[in-house]
Every structure is written in C-alpha cells, then in structure tokens.
Structure 1
Amino acid sequence: MFAKGQTVIQYMEQLAPKHVAMPDDKIGLQLGTLQKEIHNVLIALDINDDVIEEAIKLQVDLIIAHHAIIFRPLKQLQTDTPMGKLYEKLIKHDIAVYISHTNLDVTEGGMNDWMAEALGIENGSPLEDLHTEELSKLVVFVPKTHHQQVLDAILGAGAGMIGDYSHCSFNIEGYGTFMPLEGTEPFIGKLGEIERVEEIRIETIVPQGIRSKVIQVMLKAHPYEEVAYDLYAMNLKGRTLGLGRVGKLNKPMLLSEFVEVVKKNLQVDHVRVVGDLNRTIRKAAVLGGSGSRYVSPSIYRGADVLVTGDIDYHTAQDALMAGIAIIDPGHNAEKIMKAKVADWMRDKLQKAKVETKVHVSEVNTEPFQFM
C-alpha cells in the first residue's frame, strides 16, 4: 500500500504548517495533483533540469522542495522558454511539486533550528518574531468508561502544551443528561427516555496550528454519536515563531575556528568572512537564505557573528564598522534541509506502514563556481 498525495503533504505540514509562513510566500502545491498514490518522493532544495531528470530516473511522483519554481502569476505557459520547458517536463511525467519555504524556516525543529544545532548554538531564539500562536481551550464531555481513551487521543495529537510542560489537562467528574430522539442511534440510552450518565469534563489547551487535527482525533475516539464539546478563544498567547536563531555557542572560539565549524557542518567548501579572524566568538546568529537585513537585529541581540547568505558589499562594510562579524556560506547552505526533511518523512511513512519511498536529491544546485 502506498500513501496518497494528500497524506504525504499532511505529514509535511505537521513539520511546517502553512499558516506560519510569511505573507505572500509562494508555498504549497505549485504544480500537478495530489489526488494519486505516491510511490516515490524526492526532497530537494531547488528544482532545475538536473533535479527533474533525477526525479524521472527515480520514478518520482512528488517533489518537495524549499525554493519555489513559480514566483509570480503566470500570464502564459510557453514551453519554448527555460522555465516553460521545466513545467512541461514535470507535467509530462506527472510529477507534482510542493513547496515548503518560510514555514519550514520559521517552525520549531525546522531550517533555522537545524542550522543553529549544526553550528553549536544553544537555546536559540528567533532573530525576528513573525507569528504568535493563538490558543483555544477545548472542553469535551466524555462518559467515564471512555475517559482515558479520549484523553490519550487529544493529548497524543499535541494538545495540552503549556510552556515546557506537555499533557496538561483538567478533569472534573459530573453527570450528563440527554434524550435520544427519533432517528438517532445512541451509544447509551433509549429513544424518548432521559438518560443520566456519569461523565468527565476534560479541559485542555489547543494551539491554532493543530486545532483541526485535535478535534478530528477527539471525535474519532469519542463513543457518542453527537459529541458535546466547546472551543473557547483565549487572551493568552502561545509560542512565538520567527526567522533566524540567536544564542550562545556551546563553547567560545576564535572567529577563524568558527569558520571551520561552519564549513564542515553546513557542508560548504568556501565562505566569505567579514571581521577579525582572531576575535573570540561567544554568541552567534544564523539565518538560512538571504540575511542582509538581519545584521542590525543580530547586533541588537548581542551576537558576535551572523551566519547567513547573500551579503552585499555595502552591508559588509556597515557590519565591519559596527563591530559584528559575518560568515557568508552562500544561499545553498540551506541544503541541510534535504536530509532532515527526508528523515522526518520516512519516520512518518514507516509508522503509517506504507511502501512510499523517500529520496534525497543528490544534485548540487549551487549556481556559483569558485575559481
């Protein structure tokens, strides 16, 4: 049995929910259909002709990539243009393309956390806050006999997180009353008779991003034909997600030593460096992709160095005068996401006991050559 396309993407969106992406970011399904079985998935940073040829060879049905192939609305689709040829080849081989970009950057356990971990940044926090999760309180009434079953389902789906504590809930015993009417098939009680049942009221916290999932598993686990539950909006806010990470290194080191850590752990042969190689680095900031505008936030947060790509000449000059070092490993350093996303997806598919295979693209999509 193979996973359906929608199922594969549900797993991806558990890792990187769409609602945490930056406004107008080009994410989601960009080409093809998910209404099919997925035999092979390819995880890629970019999509170019070599990546598509790789996908064809592997008989891939779905490519999950970080960088979009459609950046702005298409006015026409000409197959004699470079991009048009790519779209044509993907369509002819029935290869769907799904993009997970800033939502993968922002999410906990995503791109910027992976990069921070690789560089030895401990307890990193966002450089720029983008999204604070809305919280709801879920209240559901469950017969005493099925209390643990429903509670386990709700908390297992991720509800009940308060700070660094999981599985938080409050449970109150009481009695529920109801009368089954004509046309109902009650789990407990008889038609036309008032029933009085020992029930437990479960209260817990549900973040916005998993609200639908929690409700779905709760309804599935609950024995009643009609489930009595409420969702209350709360003034309290949940976790704050954002771009980049900043924090102390696991041990101080010279900038020259930190450069070698960056090269080794982000798998790049060359970097551009701004700053005194003999200065000591204690606190570092990192941001996948283009981070020129994050120099000032890095300084504000007390970072000694910012690791990010696509630094321009004038930004480098400003950073040098401001006293913050920069290490630019290039935009392509984000390729760290390929193996990480693949590991996540394989784990989910194995637990689902499906035969869908996940491949990591081996194509080097770095456009620059270093002479």
Structure 2
Amino acid sequence: MLAKGQTLVQYMEQLAPKHIAMEGDKIGLQLGSLQKDVQGVLVALDVNEDVVEEAISLRANLIVAHHAIIYRPLANLQSDTPMGKVYEKLIKNDIAVYISHTNLDVADGGMNDWMAEALGIESGAPLEDVHMDSLYKLVVFVPKDHHERVLEAMLGAGAGHIGNYSHCSFNLAGFGTFKPGEGTDPFIGTQGKLEKVEENRIETVVPQSLRSKVIQAMLKQHPYEEVAYDLYPMDLKGRTFGLGRVGKLKDPVTLGDFVGRVKEKLQVPMVRVVGDLSKPIRKAAVLGGSGGRYWKNAQLRGADVIVTGDVDYHTAQDAWMAGIAIIDPGHNAEKIMKSKVTAWLTEKLQENKYETKVYASSVNTEPFNFV
C-alpha cells in the first residue's frame, strides 16, 4: 500500500510543525497536490532542474525540500526562464513540492540539533527564541473500563508535561448521561433510552505542537461513537523553540582542530575562519543557513565560536574585534538534512507498513566552486 501525500506531510509536521516556523517563511505545499498516492519521495536541500530529473528517474512524485522554490511573488510562469523550466517539468511530471524550512531549523531533533550533535555540542540551547508553544487543557470523559488505555494513549502521545515532570493528569470518577438517537450505534446503551454510565473525567496538559497527535491517539482508544471532550487554551507558558544551538564541547579543542571537525562532519571542502587558530574552544554555537547576525547572541551565551554561513566582511570584522571566532562552512552545509529527513520518513512509513520509498538526493546543489 502506498502512502498518500497528505500522510507524508503529517509525518513531516510531527518532526517540524508548521506553526513554529518564523513569520512570513514560505513553507508547506508549494506546487502540486497531496491528494494522491506517493510512489517515491525525494528529500533535497534545494530544487533545481537536476534535482527534478533525479526525481523523475527515481519515479518519485513528491519532493520534500528545505529551501523554497517560490520565495517571492511570481510575475509570470514563462517556461523559457531557468526556474520556469523547473516549474514546467514538475507540473508535467505530476511532482509535488513540499517545503520545511525554519520550522525544521528550530524543531527539537531538527536541523540545528543535527548540526550541533555532529559537531559535539552538548545540551545545545537556542541562540534566539522565535516561538513559544501554547498550552491547552484537554478534558475527556471515558467509561470506567477504558480509563487506563485512553489515559496511556494520551500520555504516550506527548500530553501531560509540566516543566520537568511528565505523565501529569487529574482523574475524577462520576456519572455520564446520554440518550442514543435514531441512526446511532452506541457502544453502551440502546436507541431512545436514557443511559447513566460510570465514567472518569481525565484532565491533562497538551502543547499546541502535539495537539492533533494527542487527540488522534485519544480518539483511537476511546470506545464511544461520539467522544465528549473539551480543549481549553491556557495562560501558562509552554516551551520555546529557537534558532541555532549553543553548548559546551565535551573536551576543549583549538579553533584549528574544531575547523577540521566542521569540515569533516558537515562534509564541506573548505571554510572561512575568523580568529586565531590556536584559540581554545570550550563552548560553541551553530546556526544553519545565514546566521552571521547572531554572533552577538552566541557571545552573550559564552560561546567561543559560532559556526554559520554567508558571513559578510563587516560582520566578520566586528566579531573579530569583539573576540569571538567564526567558522563559515557556507549555506550548503545544511545538506545534513537530506539523510536525516530520509531516515525519519522511512521509519514512519515502515512503522505503518507503507511501501512508499524515500530517497536522499545525490545532486550537489552547492553553487560555489572552491579553487
């Protein structure tokens, strides 16, 4: 059985929920339809004509990419322009394109966590908060005999976290009343007869990013045809999501040694470096993409170096004078996402017994040559 496009997007949004993206970011479905069976998924950093040709050769009819193919408003769709050719080829071959950008950057277990882990940055905290996850109180009424299985499903899906405590809930016994109407198929009771049933009220806390997942898990285990539940917004602050990561290295190294690690782990042939190569590095920051403007955030958090791309001359001068090192591996270092997203989607598809295949793009989309 093949997965639908919408199913694959649900898996992506479990990893990188859309609502945690930075305001104005161009994410989500940008071309094509998700209402179809997906034979193959191609995971790419960028989408150019070579990537589309690769998708065609692999019979992949969905591309999941990090960088948007439509970022600014289109004035036209002329097929004799470079990007026009790309759009035309995608449409003619019925290939959809879905973008996961800053939501993938800031997500737990997303881009910046992958880069921090690769570089040996431990317990990485965000450089700058960009989204706070809203909290909701979920209340559901469950027949007594199904209380434990419904509660376990909700908590297992991520409900019930308050600070450093997990599995938080409140449970109250009582009686529920209902009268099944015409056309119903009640789990308990008969049509037209008022029923009084022993039920338990379950209350727990759910973050916005897991709201759909928790509700689906609850509905799947609940025996009732029509489930009575309430969802209330709360004033309490939830956890925050942020750009970049900063943390200590397990063992201090020199800047020169750390440069070698960056080149190896991020698979880049060359980097630009600001700072004395003999400088000891105890705490490091990383931010995928263009993050030069965040060097002050990194320094305020005690970082000796920040690893990020597209650093301009004057930013480098300012950081140099301020005493913080910079390693610029380029924007293309974000290609680490290809293997990681491929592994995530493959695992989800296998768990649910789908036959859809997922491929990491082998096309090099680095626009620069190093000579």
1:320 equivalenced with 2:335 (yes/no): no
Deviation at residue 213 of structure 1 after TM alignment: 2.8
Aligned letter for 2:271? V
CA RMSD of aligned residues (A): 1.4
* 1:13 alignment partner AA: E
The 1-side partners of 2:3 and 2:192 are apart by 45
Instruction: Provide the C-alpha distance between the structure 2 equivalents of 1:191 and 1:100, rounded to a whole number of angstroms.
Output: 48
Equivalence for 1:226? 226
In structure 2, what is the equivalent of residue 210 of structure 1?
Answer: 210
Post-superposition Cα deviations, 1:147-195, rounded to whole Å, max 9, x if no partner, equal 1221222223222223344333222222223334455443222445443
State the AA in 1 paired with 2:40: N
Taking every aligned residue pair, what percent have the same amino acid on both sides? 73
Matched, 1:241 2:224: no
Residue 292 (str. 1) matches residue 292 (str. 2): yes
| 1:78 counterpart residue number | 78
The 5-angstrom pairing of residues 16-31 of structure 1 reads 16-31=16-31
Match of 1:107 in 2: 107
Q: Which moved more, 1:132-141 or 1:160-169?
A: 160-169
TM, length-normalised to structure 1: 0.97
Structure-2 change in CA distance of 1:267 and 1:90 (3 Å): same
* In structure 2, distance between residues paired with 1:229 and 1:2: 33
Q: Distance in 2 between matches of 1:308 and 1:4?
A: 36
Correspondence list, 1:247-266, <5 A: 247-266=247-266
- Amino acid aligned to 1:215: I
For residues 312-342 of structure 1, the C-alpha deviation after alignment (integer angstroms, 9 at most, x for no partner) is 1111110110000000000000000000000
| Shift in Å, 1:93 | 1.1
How many Å separate the matches in 2 of 1:177 and 1:88? 59
Cα distance in 1 for residues equivalent to 2:69 and 2:232: 40
Q: Which runs of 5+ in 1 are unaligned?
A: none
Q: For 2:110 and 2:151, locate their aligned partners in 1 and report how far apart those are by CA, in whole Å.
A: 28
Q: By how many angstroms is 1:297 displaced? A: 0.9
**2:358 paired residue number:** 358
Deviation per residue, 1:285-319 (Å, 9 max, x gap): 10000011101111111110000000111111101
Cα separation, 2, equivalents of 1:79 and 1:312: 34
1:1-371 superposed matches below 5 A: 1-371=1-371
> What's the TM-score once normalised by structure 2's chain length?
0.97
Quote how far apart the aligned CAs of 1:348 are.
Answer: 0.1
Q: Distance in 2 between matches of 1:313 and 1:164?
A: 43
Q: Secondary structure at the match of 2:77?
A: coil
Give structure 2 stretches of 5+ with no counterpart: none
2:105 aligned counterpart, secondary structure: helix
**Runs of at least 4 residues of structure 1 off by over 6 A?**
none
SS of residue matched to 1:237:
coil
